[in-house]
Chains A and B, each alone.
Chain A
């Protein structure tokens, strides 16, 4: 079945550091891929998405490229801020899975001033 694997956290960075959070997936079809962010005490919100191979999703300085050859959708940001401290979830939905959305376990990011 479909699955999402993302790097375990927590990830601790200093302000202005480069961020990468790895995400790989398994799917039998051609899934849509998402990154969601959850700030403390809140629900998840969509950060970015990509619906086909080689698409790049971007928002608020974050980027992720849909790589079908490596089945990956790694999240990157060139310079993190304290306000980026949150939990990040990679997710997919796929026709062959009945469009069920599969979430990764989440990666907690701490950014120090």
Chain B
């Protein structure tokens, strides 16, 4: 039982490059989330998915897109990376929205 897995663990991009962060959970959870964590800013919700086939914007969605590929997987895409997107990105899941969340180990992204 791996819980929530994220790939890659580290990534360096140049401004304007694109990439997709992958997330998968094996707990049969309905809800999944993408957060970014910046020093002094706490956790900020980028997008969430209440169930398979649905996605909604969170607090800071600009510059990001998401795909809930199936119940297990929820990916985050940066179409044209900017230095302001340098951050640590966490994926999380929960049985239902508002329940205890289970977090992945994070992806540390640097945009030069």
- B41 cross-chain contacts in A, Cβ below 8 A: 105
Do residues B97 and A99 form an inter-chain contact, with CB atoms below 8 A? yes
Q: Are A89 and B43 in contact (CB-based, < 8 A)?
A: yes
Q: Are A44 and B100 in contact (CB under 8 A)?
A: no
Least CB separation from B99: chain A residue: A93
- What is the bound-complex CA distance between A98 and B99, given in angstroms? 12
A42-B106, A44-B90 known; A101-B42 Cβ under 8 A: no
Task: Identify which of residues 90-106 in chain B touch chain A, using a CB-to-CB cut-off of 8 Å.
Answer: 90, 92, 96-106
B4 at the interface (CB under 8 A from A): yes
CB–CB A44/B101 < 8 A: yes
Which A residues are CB-close (under 8 A) to B105?
Answer: 41-43
A49 is an interface residue with CB less than 8 A from chain B = yes
* Cα(A28)–Cα(B41), bound, Å: 24
Indicate whether A101 sits within 8 Å of B106 (C-beta atoms), given known contacts A89-B43, A106-B42.
no
Q: In the bound complex, what is the Cα–Cα distance between A83 and B45 (angstroms)? A: 29
Residues on A close to B: CB < 8 A?
A: 32, 34, 36, 41-46, 49, 89, 93-95, 98-101, 103-106
B6 to chain A minimum Cβ distance, whole angstroms, is: 8
The answer to whether A103 and B103 touch (CB under 8 A), given A44-B90, A93-B98, is no
Task: Return chain B residues, CB-CB under 8 Å to A34.
Answer: 100
The residue of chain A having its C-beta at the shortest distance from the C-beta of B43 within the complex is: A103
The 6 closest A-B pairs by CB, nearest first: A99-B98, A43-B103, A93-B98, A105-B42, A99-B97, A44-B103
